[in-house]
Structure 1
Amino acid sequence: MNNNNAPSHDATDIDFSWQPPATFNFASDVVDRWAADPSKLALIAENAKGAQQTYSFAEVAKQSCQLANLLKDSGIVQGDRVIVMLPRIPQWQIAMVAVLRMGAIPIPCITMLTTKDLDYRASHAGVKGVITTSAECAKFDDISGIPTRICVGDAPAGWTSLSEAKALPANFPAAVVGINDAAIIYYTSGSTGSPKGVTHASRALWAWENSAEHWLQLNPSDRIWCTADTGWSKAGTSILFGPWSRGSAVLFYDGPFEPAKRFDLLSRHQVTCFCAAATELRQLVLEDASGYDLSHLRQTVSAGESVNPEILTRWKTLTGTDVLDGYGQTETLMTITNRPGRPIKAGSMGRPLPGINIAVRTSDGEAKPISATGELLIGLPNPQVMLSYWQDPERTAGTRIELNGKEWFATGDNVEIDSDGYVFFTGRADDIINSSGYRIGPQEVENALSSHPAVKECAVVGIPDEERGELVKAWVTLKNGTEGDEALIKELQNHVKASTAPYKYPRRIAFTDELPKTVTGKIRRNILREQN
């Protein structure tokens, strides 16, 4: 499939076509391949106390084989679903590779999940095994139906210690996994309705090298640090599958967010590619980084939420690198990015990666590739797009549409594609505010508010209004030392009027100490709407 629906900057996009193999097992086809060089560095792990460990690909291959044998001896077979709930410790990569090596299906989970969250996942996916730390084992005490329980650390009754794997063989015949077989499940945050089990086929694990090559531009000599949590799909693309497919070493830090510490780690470990959410970058640009050597850093990328233009400028001044914003979903992973060496348009998520065919569904029901506004569509077939929502054919079918004689994946995100093919996010399909006939995307209002020096973070929603249908309301958290009063409300409103079209300004502003968020850090606008 060629990405020929929009103007290209060079021949790379036009000449690109997917060539997936018939089978793919990440453990044998990627990890074991790099492990042929016993000195090839795969992982640098450091914790908050400064303790550091390094792993070669050969060591990851060995330990994942041993864990795969332990899982097999415990009853796990190909196709079984296994929860992997570990913090940012090297056992996470080893566990993920071990489960994949067997042809079992990992379900990565963040450690902030509660027993209720885990019980739902275990029941919904028919989970047969779990790998977690001793600190998290108690969350599974009241969850039945999981016969295999592996613990990192001291194992309580009913659990098997991961340390037992050390006595097992360091080889394991990798399972043959068809390219369209289910390979991994990521659960969405469930901000509306029950969480969805986004199921990706083996073809996606193979295809996620695409963004690592064309967006991150990783090579075997690179070191990447992505700060995403282990249960996020972003960890898959920028901590595990993408970087290791390119032979790059990964920095893994298990510690709290501290701006100065971020720069210290970037400097000491000579990170060449840094990936962080916009929420982090907003804090980092306030730090004095003059005492750190960032000469090895060649690029910074961000995804998950749009990066305000103000942050792009500050980060460039601070580090000398551009922030290459990108767009992806759990269902699709990275599809649209700003790429190295390409012109950047402020506020744009960039252009489609090679192999990604896009259009928008306009209000008149057409699929238009450029100079249009509407719901973002991704052309099918595409190996990066999810196989299905686990055991949910109705929801799955709702993401597929036929337009212009072609099948598309409907993202539910509203965008504008300009005449050059650049994509601008305007909000979720259900976040658009309709006020007095004007359709207002909350992101643009949030960008304007965020550029005010008093604003730490903000979220914009539409609230019911008898006269206008909806009003724009902003919820704002302020930086330390700033008092929220009527004078500041007026100042913020005028600031927005001066920054964007005046009709978009928030007619209501409320100050809050904290915005409601999902476990993956996304703002829960539905909660804010209920607080109108």
Structure 2
Amino acid sequence: MRDVWASENQSEQSYDAMCAAFRWDIPETFNFGVDVIDRWARERNGPALIWENEAGEERTYSYSDLSLLSNRLANVLRSRGVTKGDRVIVMLPRLPEWFISIIAVMKIGAVPIPCIEMLTARDIEYRVKNAEVKAAICRPEHAGKFDGVETSISVRLATGRAPGWLNWHEECAHAPETIDAPIVSAEDPAIMYYTSGSTGHPKAVVHASRAIYAWRVSAIYWLDLRPQETIWCTADTGWAKAGTSILFGPLSCGACSFFYDGPFVPKERLRLLRKHNITVYCAPGTELSRVVDEVRGRDIGSLRRVVTAGEAMNPVIASRWEDATGVRIDEAYGQTEALMVALNYTTEPVRYGSMGRPSPGSDLDVIDAQGQRLPPGNEGDLALLLPNPQLMLEYWKDPEKTEACILNGSDGCRWYLTGDRAESDADGYLWYRGRSDDMINSAGYRIGPLEVENALFEHQAVRVCAVVGSPDVERGEIVKAFVVLRDGVVPSPELTRELQDHVKSVTAPYKYPRAIEYLSELPVTITGKIRRRDLRDRELARTEDSAGS
């Protein structure tokens, strides 16, 4: 495998020079567990993971530790019948076992499905059935969520004792420490992420091993990570962002990830940054906006770089952070489907509010409905020119949705449509102008309105409802529900709390509507379809009026 740091000075080049010199060098075969973890364990062993929890417990793992422990778990899974191509749910929080699980599953060529622990039993049931899951790994206290699911799962592994589940530590204690890993080709499925869509159930995004290899591009050019440096990315383990900035990207560079299993406390963030000599800090804008209030006298330790993604960075907050710390914030843009494809670079001026410029090797541009590139200053569809190794293989079991996001341009170009609207400026910086569908982006969480609407519809007081994103200073957007009640039901603060609690009980709690407005009727089209756009426009106008008053 080509050394990721064969050209260690590339992050010091100008943008134009970086792009001109860049060439994709995707190997024919690539197994992350073998070609990255095991390789660093042999050639440049050093710290790979530092973990701490709220109680102050700490553990440090070298690359050789991760290599050995993932071999043991891989052998346990294989001995129980998990083979190449099988899907495995990994539902773990910020624990070392999450690292080890993802690596182990990949070592045997199986396909991990990272999931957040906030998923409800119903969320899990859909994923298990849709993906025909062969194995599941979780903490004992969440094992019960899998009960009653008519399932294809034949291997259940818990990180402690749980009735009917294998005990992770007991099973791994005597498992072999070496493994004969299968060959994984560049086009073989390597990982699946479920991501909310604007309609229907969450979509399963399938990435090939070539994408795992390509994840290093943003780690080099955006995170600017060097071997043995330490990065702290605070993303949840169920999101593709964790792959970009916690596991695949940093470890491909020979760097170390800090993992904190504890609540968000702004002052504690600063203490941990200093204590663990964090050099690169990756966090959503909403988090940075609260941490900056705790900064005193630029007390940020070894921190030299701060990056953000997942939601548009507020330029005012970014400027405050730079004034307070002396370190600027570099935003990037990516998707579960296409990884990070627009970056801000250390060698280039930052323009707060911009998502950056296309990453080396990726032709990302603003196009019209015919697939023609638009000149600067014109809003259009943000699209990625194909082929590109960072793009997903497919939406699992959904060829129609997969093909629906591809546009064949009138000039023969083939584009992946991101579903976002944007425009470029004269220097090629890209500026986000909103979604072209109904997706809600709240504090970095992608939330499909239909999932929330379906949950609300189950409550006996609701006759009809619609859910949209409402602009919010701290979160970018919040989930807002417009509800028409059944005859005889009277709106009240108590009913609002009851509806919010109901949504939390039937779907992942982060999706609940933080605001509910009661209407006598909803705006609809001539065919009776709810006009969410009218409600979004109404919320935007309300926010602008409030800001101007």
In structure 2, C-alpha distance between the alignment counterparts of 1:86 and 1:378, rounded to whole Å: 32
Say which of 299, 302, 308 aligns to 2:308. Answer: 302
Work out which of the residue numbers 255, 259, 263 in structure 2 matches 1:252: 259
Contact 1:40 1:56 survives alignment (8 Å): yes
Which is worse superposed, 521-530 or 399-408? Answer: 521-530
Check whether the contact 1:401–1:410 (CA below 8 A) recurs between aligned residues: yes
Is contact 2:479-2:512 (8 Å) kept?
A: no
Residue in 2 that maps onto 1:193: 200
User: Secondary structure of 1:326's partner?
Assistant: strand
Q: Is the 8 A contact 2:480 2:515 kept in 1?
A: no
- Structure 1 residues 381 and 522: alpha-carbon distance in aligned structure 2, compared to 1, 3 A threshold: farther
Query: Alpha carbons of 1:458 and 1:163: their partners in 2 closer, same or farther (altered >3 Å)?
Result: same
Counterparts in 2 of 1:358 and 1:104: CA distance versus 1, 3 Å = same
Helix, strand or coil at the partner of 1:336: strand
- CA shift, 1:346, in A, is 2.4
Deviations 1:51-81 (A, max 9, x none): 0000000000000000001001111011100
* One-letter amino acid of the counterpart of residue 385, structure 1: L
State the aligned residue count.
Answer: 458
Residue 162 (structure 1) shift: 3.6
Which residue in the other structure is 1:418 paired with? Answer: 425
Corresponding residue to 1:323 among 308, 329, 339: 329
Name stretches of at least 5 consecutive residues in structure 1 with no aligned partner. Answer: 1-7, 433-444, 451-455, 465-512
Partner of 2:541: none
Instruction: For 2:388 and 2:94, locate their aligned partners in 1 and report how far apart those are by CA, in whole Å.
Output: 31
1:164 aligns with 2:171: yes
Query: Percent of aligned pairs with the same residue?
Result: 46
Q: C-alpha distance in 2, partners of 1:319/1:385? A: 36
The secondary structure found in structure 2 opposite 1:10 is helix
**Do residues 68 (structure 1) and 74 (structure 2) align?**
yes
Select which of 459, 472, 479 maps to 2:477.
459
- Alpha-carbon spacing, 1:13–1:370, altered in 2? closer, same or farther (3 Å): farther
Closer, same or farther in 2 for the Cα pair 1:378/1:209, shift >3 Å? same
* Contact kept? 1:128, 1:145, Cα under 8 Å: yes
Aligned partner letter, 1:24: F
Alignment match, 1:348: 354
Query: Shift in Å at residue 519 of structure 1?
Result: 5.1
* Per-residue deviation, 1:320: 1.6
Deviation at 1:391, TM superposition (A): 0.8
Deviation at 1:305, TM superposition (A): 0.2
- Paired with 1:526 and 1:386, the residues of 2 have a C-alpha distance of 35
Aligned to 1:106: 112
Confirm or deny: 8 A CA contact 2:355 2:431 kept in the other structure: yes
In the alignment, what sits opposite 2:98?
A: 92
2:290 is aligned with 1:273: no
Question: What's the secondary structure of 1:260's corresponding residue?
Answer: helix
Q: Distance in 1 between matches of 2:513 and 2:422?
A: 20
Instruction: Specify the code of the residue in structure 1 equivalent to 2:256.
Output: A
Q: Which digits, 9 at most, give the CA deviation of each residue in 1:141-181, with x for residues without a partner?
A: 11222110011012322434343112011001122111011
Residue 366 of structure 2 corresponds to which residue in structure 1?
360
Structure 2 unaligned regions, length at least 5: 1-13, 440-469, 483-499, 518-531, 539-549
- Residue 232 (structure 2) pairs with residue 225 (structure 1): yes
2:198/2:437 contact within 8 Å kept: no
- Aligned equivalents of 2:79 and 2:480: distance in 1? 55
Out of 115, 137, 145, the residue aligned to residue 131 of structure 1 is 137
Q: Secondary structure at the match of 2:260?
A: strand
1:155 to 152, 156, 162: 162
Contact 1:263 1:289 in 2 (8 A): no
Residues 232, 520 of structure 1: 8 Å contact kept: no
Counterpart CA distance in 2 for 1:322 and 1:523 is: 33
Which one-letter code corresponds to 1:374 in the other structure?
G
Equivalent pair of 2:136/2:156 in contact (CA under 8 Å): yes
Give distance in 2, aligned partners of 1:286 and 1:156: 46
Partner Cα distance (1:369, 1:80) in 2: 46
Q: 1: CA distance between counterparts of 2:513 and 2:31?
A: 36
AA at the equivalent of 2:269 = R
Distance 2:218 2:516 in 1: 33
Scaled by the length of structure 1, what TM-score is found? 0.81
Structure 1 segment 374-453 matched on structure 2, within 5 A: 374-403=380-409, 404-430=411-437, 446=471, 450=473
User: CA offsets, 1:300-329, max 9 Å, x none?
Assistant: 000000010011111112222111011000
Residue 249 of structure 2 is aligned to residue 242 of structure 1: yes
Distance 1:161 1:21 in 2: 33
- Say if 1:150 and 1:162, in contact at 8 Å, map to a contact too: no
RMSD: 2.9
**What is the one-letter code of the residue matched to 1:172?**
I
Letter in 2 for 1:247: G
Q: How far does the alpha carbon of each residue in 1:308-358 deviate from its partner, in whole angstroms, 9 at most, with x for none? A: 001111111222211101100000111101111211122111101101102
In 1, the alpha carbon distance for the partners of 2:350 and 2:508 equals 31
CA contact (8 A) 1:270 1:294 kept: no
**Cα distance change, pair 245–526 in 1 and its aligned pair in 2 (3 A):** farther
Alignment correspondent of 2:461: none
1:10-40 residue CA offsets vs partner (Å, 9 max, x unmatched): 3110221211110000001000011015751
